[in-house]
């Protein structure tokens, strides 16, 4: 959240983000298949981890790039749905910076670059356990306006309170 | 293969492509985890199929976009390694055109758009069982020059025989 | 146009496409600055040419990649606006396949890969005068629903007549 | 530059970066055609400005997206050539975040995301005079190893002095 958000709004936005994660996670079979863990969510942000297993390797004996992409895409999904409006990936651009190997613990961190109307742009960076970059993923989101993930919670960015500068 | 390739070269190129697939497939645990089948390979081309299973769905109850990407990336890998030079994905750009659902049979077809020196560009299109487009994936490859997948077979594009126009 | 479109609809769609070009071209100062010519338009398609001038070269003495992109983007714009609904580029992915040099005559050809709701995907290929590929550009469009370029003409894809198979 | 670079190396790297700019700029006719100014360069970084002129507008009366891309691509070029090895753009992915209008003063800032061997990834962000984001551009570079822009100056990243932590 920007420092210009009122603390009460920030707290509610965080509560909504966590509720959307709780709504999505039980049915997120694909992310579970790959042993992922959603370790943090916030408004427009998410952090997800995955350990490279033997059954994730390809014919070059490194982690299949598609599965690293799946990790990044999961972080993207939790970040862009955190405003409680159903949002899907329209596409993404991926740069594979370094190979991931058996046993590597990968962390994908999603942040919001831009969001206006129905479309958004998110940056997801995947690093390994040494903090070395593995992948740069830039995702494009498309929001179904007026369709909440969790009924009864606010939809969209929360701006209720005016922030007073001290 | 282009129609200007001599039939003897085309036959050898096809034989090399199939040998690279045979070298890569036994260790391609990630593609097997997702139940993929490499149904065809050729010089710069590959066709791979995958059926959407229950454990491939995400929190919106559609196939996780990362796993459709993994299918496309596998087709990309077999296509760009088919010249028997170790080649890795440098990155790709993905457009998700339509959702894939439980039970859908997806087919990824990879073709070569450009190849010069160490770098190549491949188009992979993923369709469902109705032939409707699901994903457009454009991959960028990087070749390790002088490093074969299969020792004793020719490396690179095969141009031995001069083609006589009739 | 697909062969399954009724000839009367195809003719009207072509007429609409040409009207949108005629509406956009007089004010398209950027494309004129670079000496472009829109040599053909159709529903979801366009062909635009540009000759590489001295003042388009960069510090490596080849045509600035941004200007080749501008050519492709112009073809993209005429293709995706041809249904008479105001449509803007949301973004694009570019692969520079070969350098363009002083005096080269470049041709950008745009075709539609997918279009659904507000979003579309277009492929634009730029070739030189030898027919060799210079750039592969994949564009993503966003349509302002209900906003025509030319008042009084139909908006969107034209499907009025039922096609009878013979 | 990273804080772990020795000041003597940082100073030499900066001197080399400025020398590559001075070598490229006189012949960079395309960037001059669009009135650009290279306001800063450093090792892997560059800042370039451009004011939107009447002849840069398109048929929607906004700055042609290709020309904003050209600005970003120029910043990319100065950033990735700053190590004094001839480097070209292999491609890029662009997201158009907001329209640029007549008179807007655009600033493109390039930073290095990753660089290994012959390939690099750079982020270029274009903002307007209010600091609002206009474009997110991610570029992919390819370096011609062993080919300097300026003869007699060091090539590649400079690491001569060991940094002593104080």
Does A1 score more than 60 pLDDT?
no
Please report all neighbours of C, defined by 3+ CB atom pairs within 8 A: A, B, D
Kindly list the residues from chain A whose CB atom is less than 8 angstroms away from the CB atom of residue D98: 116
pLDDT at residue number C2: 52
Least confident piece of the model among A85-99, B36-50, C103-117, D3-17: D3-17
Helix residue ranges per DSSP H, A25-144: 29-33, 65-80
Q: Of A79, A92, A102, A91, whose CA–CA distance to A135 is shortest?
A: A92
pLDDT at residue number A45: 98
| Per-residue model confidence as pLDDT tens digits over B13-67 | 999 999 999 999 999 999 999 999 999 999 999 999 999 999 999 989 999 999 9
pLDDT tier at B164, thresholds 50, 70, 90: low
- Interchain pair D67, C70: CB under 8 A: yes
Q: What is the mean pLDDT of residues D63-83?
A: 98
Residues of chain B whose beta carbon is less than 8 angstroms from a beta carbon of chain C are: 93, 95, 97-98, 113-114, 116, 121, 133, 136, 138, 140
Q: Which residue of B has its CA nearest to A148?
A: B60
Q: What is the mean pLDDT of residues C8-32?
A: 96
Between B164 and D151, the more confident residue is D151
- Interchain pair B140, D140: CB under 8 A: yes
Helix residue ranges per DSSP H, B3-143: 7-24, 29-33, 65-80
At residue B11's C-alpha, the angle toward residues B6 and B13, to 5°, is 90
In a domain, D103, yes or no: yes
Kindly list the residues from chain C whose CB atom is less than 8 angstroms away from the CB atom of residue B92: none
pLDDT tier at C117, thresholds 50, 70, 90: confident
pLDDT at residue number A166: 46
Q: B63-102: buried (b, 16+ CB within 10 Å) or exposed (e) per residue?
A: bbbbbbbbbbbbbbbbbbbbbbbbbbbbbbbbbbbbbbee
Question: Which of B98, B116, B138 is closest, CB to CB, to C138?
Answer: B138
pLDDT at residue number B166: 45
Kindly list the residues from chain A whose CB atom is less than 8 angstroms away from the CB atom of residue B63: 30
In a domain, D152, yes or no: no
Question: Torsion angle, CA of C1/C113/C116/A75, rounded to 10 degrees?
Answer: 180
Q: What is the mean pLDDT of residues B95-112?
A: 98
Please report all neighbours of B, defined by 3+ CB atom pairs within 8 A: A, C, D
Please report all neighbours of D, defined by 3+ CB atom pairs within 8 A: A, B, C
Q: Which residue of B has its CA nearest to C98?
A: B116
Least confident piece of the model among C23-37, C140-154, D1-15: D1-15
pLDDT at residue number A11: 94
Interface test with D, best of A113, A125, A128, A139 (most D CBs within 10 A): A113
In a domain, C32, yes or no: yes
| Minimal CA separation from D59 to chain C, in Å | 4
Question: Which of D33, D95, D99 is closest, CB to CB, to C55?
Answer: D33
Please give the radius of gyration of chain B, using alpha carbons only, rounded to the nearest integer. 17
pLDDT at residue number D163: 63
Residues of chain C whose beta carbon is less than 8 angstroms from a beta carbon of chain B are: 93, 95, 97-98, 113-114, 116, 121, 133, 136, 138, 140
Does D1 score more than 50 pLDDT?
no
ipTM: 0.94
CATH (domain of D111): 3.10.129.10
In a domain, D122, yes or no: yes
Between C147 and B137, the more confident residue is B137
**Rounded to whole angstroms, how far apart are CA atoms C105 and C59?**
20
**Phi and psi for A147 in degrees, rounded to 5?**
-115, 105
Does C142 score more than 70 pLDDT?
yes
| Per-residue model confidence as pLDDT tens digits over A52-105 | 999 999 989 999 999 999 999 999 999 999 999 999 999 999 999 999 999 999
In a domain, A156, yes or no: no
Q: How many CA atoms lie within 13 A of C27 on its CB side?
A: 12
Q: Which residue of C has its CA nearest to D95?
A: C91
- A&D contacts, CB < 8 Å: 36
Kindly list the residues from chain C whose CB atom is less than 8 angstroms away from the CB atom of residue B93: 93, 138
pLDDT at residue number C162: 74
Please report all neighbours of A, defined by 3+ CB atom pairs within 8 A: B, C, D
Name the one residue in this structure whose structure tokens are 């020309």. Answer: D67
Q: Of C25, C2, C8, whose CA–CA distance to C154 is shortest?
A: C8
Beta strand spans in A2-104 (E): 37-42, 45-51, 87-96
Interface test with A, best of B64, B72, B142, B150 (most A CBs within 10 A): B64
In a domain, B64, yes or no: yes
pLDDT at residue number B1: 44
* Token pair for D164: 């002593």
Helix axes A7-24, A65-80, angle to 10 degrees: 130
Q: Which residue of A has its CA nearest to D93?
A: A93
Q: Of B121, B155, B166, B159, whose CA–CA distance to B1 is shortest?
A: B159
* Token pair for A128: 């390994």
Q: Are A100 and A62 in contact (CB under 8 A)?
A: yes
pLDDT tier at C1, thresholds 50, 70, 90: very low
Sort strands C87-96 and A45-51 into parallel, antiparallel or unpaired.
unpaired
| Per-residue model confidence as pLDDT tens digits over D105-142 | 999 999 999 998 899 999 999 999 999 999 999 999 99
Number of domains in chain C: 1
In a domain, D99, yes or no: yes
Q: Of B131, B76, B108, whose CA–CA distance to A94 is shortest?
A: B76
| Minimal CA separation from D119 to chain B, in Å | 9
* Token pair for A144: 């179904």
Does A146 score more than 50 pLDDT?
yes
| Per-residue model confidence as pLDDT tens digits over C61-96 | 999 999 999 999 999 999 999 999 999 999 999 999
**Rounded to whole angstroms, how far apart are CA atoms B31 and C88?**
38
Owning domain of residue A18: 7-143
Q: Are B39 and B105 in contact (CB under 8 A)?
A: no
Does D86 score more than 70 pLDDT?
yes
pLDDT at residue number D166: 45
DSSP result, D19-61: HHHHHHGGG-HHHHHTT-EEEEEETTEEEEEEEPPGGGB-TTS
**Rounded to whole angstroms, how far apart are CA atoms A85 and C68?**
38
**Rounded to whole angstroms, how far apart are CA atoms C43 and C13?**
6
> Order of strands, edge to edge, in the sheet holding C133-143?
C37-42, C45-51, C105-116, C119-127, C133-143, C87-96, D87-96, D133-143, D119-127, D105-116, D45-51, D37-42
Q: Which residue of C has its CA nearest to D75?
A: C66
Percent of chain A whose pLDDT exceeds 70: 96
In a domain, C121, yes or no: yes
pLDDT at residue number C160: 80
* Token pair for C126: 């730029």
Kindly list the residues from chain B whose CB atom is less than 8 angstroms away from the CB atom of residue D119: 90, 142
pLDDT at residue number D164: 60
Interface test with A, best of D89, D91, D97 (most A CBs within 10 A): D97
The overall average pLDDT reported for chain B is 94
């Amino acid at each position: 959240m920007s420092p210009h958000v009122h603390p009460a709004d920030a707290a509610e936005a965080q509560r909504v983000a966590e509720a959307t994660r709780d709504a999505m996670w039980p049915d997120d079979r694909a992310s579970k298949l790959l042993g992922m863990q959603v370790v943090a969510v916030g408004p427009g942000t998410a952090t997800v981890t995955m350990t490279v297993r033997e059954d994730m390797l390809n014919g070059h004996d490194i982690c299949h790039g598609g599965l690293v992409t799946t990790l990044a895409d999961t972080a993207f999904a939790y970040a862009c749905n955190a405003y409680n409006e159903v949002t899907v990936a329209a596409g993404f651009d991926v740069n594979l910076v370094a190979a991931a190997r058996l046993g590597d613990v990968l962390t994908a961190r999603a942040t919001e670059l831009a969001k206006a109307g129905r479309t958004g742009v998110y940056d997801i960076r995947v690093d390994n356990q040494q903090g070395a970059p593995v992948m740069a993923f830039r995702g494009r989101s498309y929001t179904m306006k007026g369709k909440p993930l969790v009924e009864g919670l606010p939809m969209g960015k929360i701006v209720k309170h005016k922030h007073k500068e001290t």
